[in-house]
Amino acid sequence: MRSAEVVVALFMLGLGALVIFDSVRLGWGWGTEGPEAGYFPFYIGAMICIGSLVTLFQVLLGEQIKGLAVKWIVRAKPARLHHDRRKDHEVFVEWSALRLVLQVLLPAAVYVLGIQLIGIYVASAAYIAVFMVWLGKYGWTRGLIVGVGVSAVTFAMFEIWFQVPLFKGEFNPLSLIGY
Amino acid sequence: MEEINALFHGFSVALTPFNLLLMFIGVTLGVLIGVLPGLGGANGIAILLPLTFTMPPTSAVIMLSCIYWGALFGGAITSILFNIPGEPWSVATTFDGYPMAQQGKAGEALTTAFTSSFIGAFFAIVMITFLAPLVAKFALQFGPPEFFAVFFLTFCSFIGMGKEPPFKILVAMMLGFALAAVGIDTVTGQLRLIFGWHELMRGFDFLIAVIGLFGIGEILLSMEEGLSFSGRTAKINTRIVIETWKKLPKYWMTSLRSCVIGCWMGITPGGATPASFMSYGIAKRMSPDGAKFGTGQAEGVIAPETAAHAAGTAALLPMLSLGIPGSPTAAVLLGGLLIWGLQPGPLLFVEQKDFVWGLIASMYLGNIAGLIIVLTCVPLFAAILRVPFSIIAPVIVVICAIGAYTVHNAMLDIWLMLLFGVMGYAFKKLSYPLAPLVLALVLGDQAEGAFRQAMLMSQGDMRIFFSNWLVGSIMGLGLLMLVWPVLGKLVAQLRKSAA
């Protein structure tokens, strides 16, 4: 968890810096007609930076400070060896969990790309079918039935009932059937 | 008694066959949303919001608020039957609800939960009926400094009451404000924080953020936990309901206390989740059977359910009367009102009487409809949970994508939704809270506006926030909330050293 904590805190620190940078460009002081455009965001950016720095500090130095305090009070070396094995295990759990998450995240990203290219209806049917076959170990027939079924219901609901056209992609395959 | 008359007028607005139909549809959809992983009150309403744009505002908000009631009810079903909280506020319900189901008392547990939810909500609605107009009348005297002070209090209480590390709450909240600032600055007309990327000109829509953060993020989380549903079956018939109802009155004290806790936590934006935990904890301490909590005590179901529902409902009070929502779902409803051209806040009670009282009347009716639906349809909803995750997950991702697209008919929004999904996952894993982020994103522009106007009034002098007793006491309360955790620790330390 620690590496993830550091990455997110650094990312937020970067974002905060970006906000401050743009606020300074816009002017963060007092203009002729009152506060300038960067006046409020500047402090927002500053608070993001302060918050992430404190979090970073707590994550990176929290344990060391605790260790030092223990050392200072007990005047003995803090028990580090016991720690390491559990941490290895944690990292392992993290990786297998990350793999599971990527199994969902990557197809989802491909799906969104699919929407961009071939539109919501076709991409959704394919995505549901592939997800069911790959991760759910269903047969292709079942996957396709559910996928096409869900898409057909959405199609009926949006295009016909509500008359709200959804995105059909840059190469619209549904133009073949007149949509 | 002005309120009673207004309320009856409201009933006449809400009680049309069309609105009643919408109520039942709304509650059913809501329970469904509450039961499914990855869909909850906030993102469920966000997804369905665009579909209501063609309806009259009163009907639309009736349906959306009924989805909210449904979602509150639905959370209890998964907690009790499957030991999986469908919503964060029903985590505390699993402590005693699931053991009851294991002992074969699932029907009793569900009836207890639903009835308690109903009582909690009812209490909160009565409070809204009489308190909201007063708060609104009082708030009519507010100027920009007072409004900013109320925003300040709202956000400080997040930091003070939250269970996450305070600096992480601060970062999440400020990120919300920063995202809200992206786009055209309404005062100077300058483009802010878009770094030359002109598609960002209209800013980040909080609906997209809500769909991604709560929907996609939740799916990623559930995937990691490797969900395998193995639940208890439940039968509810009239006999069980009546038997359970006979037992409930003796817990009136727990109910009343939970109602009060819930209302308090709902109005100050603590929200339903901490309210349910707090109520469970206090009930455990006060009850003569406290030691048996966790083994299937009805009281352990009553306390969290009553409080969660009371808090969820009470969160609408500041939303309606001040324009400041107490929870992410209330924030989404507020977004809906803005889209329909209704500015929530004190003036709403003066200018849109029909709408406000129609909505309040629909809260009474919607909760009754909810109670009827959940008591009669539990087996149906439980059956949906048995659909395997590998079918539900992609379908929910598809629903989220469609929902994100329909907000502005923009493809970019679907990509942003995915991005927010990853962010939601990372934030939840590292215990950065999502609620303050969403609220800051919704309220950012208004908070900034109030702040800038106040600064204009005082020519940049911060002392304006303490210039009269009203604004001063709200700011003072905010600061008190901010240092609340530190104060709590100090008091505990003092007690320890005294003992």
> For A140-178, how does the pLDDT look when each residue is reduced to its tens digit (9 = 90+)?
999 999 999 999 999 998 888 877 788 888 888 887 777
pLDDT of residue A77: 45
pLDDT of residue A83: 46
Cβ contact A112–B171 (<8 Å): no
Name the residue in chain B with its Cα closest to that of A137: B390
Please state which of the ranges A31-35, B189-193, B262-266 shows the lowest mean pLDDT.
A31-35
Name the residue in chain A with its Cα closest to that of B226: A100
Token couple for B247 = 């037992």
Name the residue in chain B with its Cα closest to that of A106: B418
Local confidence band at A74 (pLDDT 50, 70, 90 cut-offs): low
Element (H, E) at B210: helix B206-210
**Least CB–CB distance from A105: residue in B195, B226, B422:** B422
Q: Are A48 and A18 in contact (CB under 8 A)?
A: no
The pTM assigned to this predicted structure is 0.84
In order of B480, B483, B490, B498, the CA distances from B494 in angstroms are 19, 16, 6, 6
Token couple for A87 = 């941490």
Please give the backbone phi and psi of residue B493, each rounded to the nearest 5 degrees, phi first.
-60, -45
Please determine, for residue B227, whether its predicted confidence score (pLDDT) is greater than 60: no
Name the residue in chain A with its Cα closest to that of B408: A166
Name the residue in chain B with its Cα closest to that of A127: B394
Give residue-wise pLDDT tens across range B32-51.
888 877 777 788 888 888 87
Please give the backbone phi and psi of residue B66, each rounded to the nearest 5 degrees, phi first.
-65, -35
Cβ-Cβ contacts under 8 Å, B456 against chain A: 34-35
pLDDT of residue A149: 94
Residue A99 CB neighbour total at 10 angstroms: 10
Cβ contact B174–A44 (<8 Å): yes
Please determine, for residue B54, whether its predicted confidence score (pLDDT) is greater than 50: yes
Give residue-wise pLDDT tens across range B118-155.
999 999 999 999 998 888 888 888 888 988 998 898 88
Residue type at B28 in one-letter notation: T
pLDDT of residue A76: 46
Give residue-wise pLDDT tens across range B458-483.
888 888 999 888 899 989 988 988 88
Local confidence band at B226 (pLDDT 50, 70, 90 cut-offs): low
| Dihedral sign, Cα of residue B137, residue B155, residue B421, residue A118 | positive
**Least CB–CB distance from B192: residue in A37, A50, A164:** A37
ipTM of predicted complex: 0.85
Local confidence band at B319 (pLDDT 50, 70, 90 cut-offs): confident
CB neighbour list of residue B346: distance below 8 Å, 6 or more residues apart: B135, B136, B137, B138, B139, B140, B142, B321, B322, B323
pLDDT of residue B5: 86
- Residues in a beta bridge with A30: A35
Cβ contact A12–B426 (<8 Å): no
Question: If we measure between CA atoms, which residue out of B479, B413, B429, B423 comes closest to residue B175?
Answer: B423
Cβ contact A5–B175 (<8 Å): no
Percent of chain B with pLDDT over 90: 18
Structure-model confidence comparison of residues B441 and B387, the more confident one: B441
Measured between CA atoms, how close is B118 to chain A, in angstroms? 33
First to last CA, chain B: 52
Task: Write down the residue that tokens 């305070």 correspond to.
Answer: B166
Using CA atoms, how far apart are residues B163 and B152, in angstroms rounded to an integer?
Answer: 19
**Least CB–CB distance from B178: residue in A48, A115, A124:** A48
Cβ contact A128–B394 (<8 Å): yes
pLDDT of residue A71: 62
Please give the backbone phi and psi of residue B323, each rounded to the nearest 5 degrees, phi first.
80, 20
A1 Cα distance to chain centroid: 16
Region B303-312: what's the mean pLDDT? 90
Region B6-20: what's the mean pLDDT? 87
Cβ contact A120–B452 (<8 Å): no
Measured between CA atoms, how close is A86 to chain B, in angstroms? 19
Local confidence band at B434 (pLDDT 50, 70, 90 cut-offs): confident
Q: Which of B25, B193, B200, B389 to mutate to test the interface with A (most CBs of A within 10 A)?
A: B193
pLDDT of residue B472: 92
**Least CB–CB distance from A8: residue in B54, B190, B426:** B426
Please give the backbone phi and psi of residue B83, each rounded to the nearest 5 degrees, phi first.
60, 20
Q: In residues, how long is chain A?
A: 179
Local confidence band at B68 (pLDDT 50, 70, 90 cut-offs): confident
Using CA atoms, how far apart are residues B409 and B157, in angstroms rounded to an integer?
Answer: 36
DSSP letter (8 states) at residue A162: I
pLDDT of residue A101: 82
pLDDT of residue B56: 86
Structure-model confidence comparison of residues B414 and B379, the more confident one: B414
Please determine, for residue A114, whether its predicted confidence score (pLDDT) is greater than 90: yes
CB pairs under 8 A between A and B: 160
Using CA atoms, how far apart are residues B61 and B23, in angstroms rounded to an integer?
Answer: 10
Measured between CA atoms, how close is A175 to chain B, in angstroms? 19
Q: What is the DSSP string of A47-84?
A: HHHHHHHHHHHHHHHHHHHHHHHHHHHH-S----HHHH
Region B12-25: what's the mean pLDDT? 88
Using CA atoms, how far apart are residues B386 and B36, in angstroms rounded to an integer?
Answer: 10
pLDDT of residue B75: 79
Give residue-wise pLDDT tens across range B80-92.
887 777 667 778 8
Name the residue in chain B with its Cα closest to that of A117: B411
Domain borders along chain A are 1-78, 81-179
pLDDT of residue B164: 83
Please determine, for residue B233, whether its predicted confidence score (pLDDT) is greater than 90: no
Please determine, for residue A20, whether its predicted confidence score (pLDDT) is greater than 90: yes
Name the residue in chain A with its Cα closest to that of B186: A37
Using CA atoms, how far apart are residues B139 and B143, in angstroms rounded to an integer?
Answer: 9
Q: Are A165 and A119 in contact (CB under 8 A)?
A: no
Cβ-Cβ contacts under 8 Å, B174 against chain A: 16, 44-45, 47-48, 51
Tell me if residue B300 falls in helix, strand or coil. Answer: helix
DSSP letter (8 states) at residue A165: P
Please determine, for residue B378, whether its predicted confidence score (pLDDT) is greater than 60: yes
Cβ contact B429–A1 (<8 Å): yes
pLDDT of residue B465: 92
pLDDT of residue A78: 44
Measured between CA atoms, how close is B265 to chain A, in angstroms? 25
pLDDT of residue A84: 46
In order of A126, B193, B217, B384, the CA distances from A148 in angstroms are 8, 41, 25, 20
Residue B460 CB neighbour total at 10 angstroms: 14
Give residue-wise pLDDT tens across range A40-65.
999 999 999 999 999 998 888 876 66
Tell me if residue B110 falls in helix, strand or coil. Answer: helix
Local confidence band at B93 (pLDDT 50, 70, 90 cut-offs): confident
